[in-house]
Amino acid sequence: MDHSFKWQGRYDGEGEAHLRIHQVVNTSQHATYAFIGFSSDEGVKRNKGRVGAADAPDLIRAQLANLPVHQPVTIADLGTVVCDSGKLETAQAELADQVERCLKQGMKPIVLGGGHEVAFGSFSGLFQYIQNHEPNKKIGIINFDAHFDLREADQVTSGTPFLNAATLSAQHQQEFHYLCIGVAKHSNTKILFETADRLNSTYIYDDELQQKNVENIILKIQKFIGKVDYLYITVDLDVFSASIAPGVSAPAVKGVDLSVFDPLLEAIKETGKIKVFDVAECNPRFDLDSRTAKLAAYIIFNYIFD
C-alpha cells in the first residue's frame, strides 16, 4: 500500500461550519467511510485501451480535499493499492482483502480507480466478506457504464470484470445479479449483448436516460434492488459525455447527463443497501483542466453527503 498522499487544502478558520474534507480525513479511530486508491491501468493496457488511469487516485483525492463538509462525517484514507510490474491479479486480490477488512470494521469502502479492472477487486472484497460473515446475503451489482464489461478473455482486463464476477458467483453457487445503466449500442458487440442476456443481466440504454424517463428508470432500478440484500455500485466515468469527462480511456460520443445520473444515484442511496462504491476510468493523461477528476470527486461527495 502506498500512503504518500498528503491531505491538505484551503483553511477558512476554526469550527465545523468552515470544515473541508482534508480537515476530517484520518481524524477518527472508527470512520464511517474509507478511501482506498487503486493505481492500475494494466487492465486497460491488456484491453488495448488508452493507459494513464493509474495516476487517478491521488488526483481524485486532491479534488476531494477542498470540498466542504456539510454534516458530521468520519473518513479514513487507507492508502493506495499499486499494480506493480503488470501483476494485476495480485493487485485485485490485495484490493479485495482491503475492502473485506473495511467491511469487517463497519466502514463503507470508496475505491478510487484506476481502470475498470478495479471492479473485480471491489466486487471480490464484498463477495469474500459475505462468504465469510453473512453467507445468506445476496449481492447486486449496479454499473453505470457505456460498456457491459462482460468480455471473454484469457486473462482479466478492464473489459472482463463482470464476467469474472459472474464466474466467481457460479463457483460458489451464488446467483449473479447485474444491472448496467447507460449501455451504448454503438459501444458493445452483438456477443456482449448475448452474454448479458445469457447471464440474465438487466440493462438500460444510454438513450433511455432522459429526464422525462427518470421516474420509470427509478422503478426499474428499485425492482432490481428488491431482489438483493447488498449493493456494489461502480461508476465508469466513460458513461458521461466527453464534454464533462474527457479524461477517460474511451470518451463517450453521447453519454449520460448529470441531471439524470444524480437522481438515480440518490434513489439507490436511499435504499440503504450500498456496501461498496467505486469510481473508475479517470485518466488524468487525457483530462482537461481536471474536469474528469472533479467529476469523480463530485460523485463521491454526493454519495457521502445528503
- Helix, coil or strand: residue 136: coil
Question: 236 a known binding residue?
Answer: yes
Residue 55 is labelled as binding a ligand? no
Binding site annotation covers 97? no
CA dihedral 132, 135, 138, 140 (to 10 degrees): 10
Q: Give the residue from 128, 27, 19, 53 showing the smallest Cα distance to 283.
A: 53
Contacts of 11 (CB under 8 A, 6+ apart): 18, 20, 23
Q: Is 229 annotated as a binding residue?
A: no
The terminus-to-terminus CA distance of the chain in angstroms comes to 31
Coil/strand/helix, residue 177: strand
- Rounded CA-CA distance 298/252 in Å is 19
Other CB atoms within 10 Å distance of the CB of residue 80 = 26
DSSP string, 40-93: --HHHHHTT----GGGHHHHHHHHHHTSB--S---EEEEEEEE--TT-HHHHHH
Is 22 known as a binding-site position? Answer: no
Instruction: Tell me the C-alpha to C-alpha distance, in Å, between residue 99 and each of 8, 115, 236.
Output: 25, 17, 19
Q: Is 107 helix (H, G, I), strand (E, B) or coil?
A: coil
Q: Which residues contact 190 (CB under 8 A, 6 or more apart)?
A: none
The answer on whether 177 is annotated among ligand-binding residues is no
Q: How much of the chain is in helix, strand and coil states, percent to nearest 5? A: 45, 20, 35
* Binding-site entries: 116, 145, 147, 149, 236, 238
* Binding-site entries for Mn(2+): 116, 145, 147, 149, 236, 238
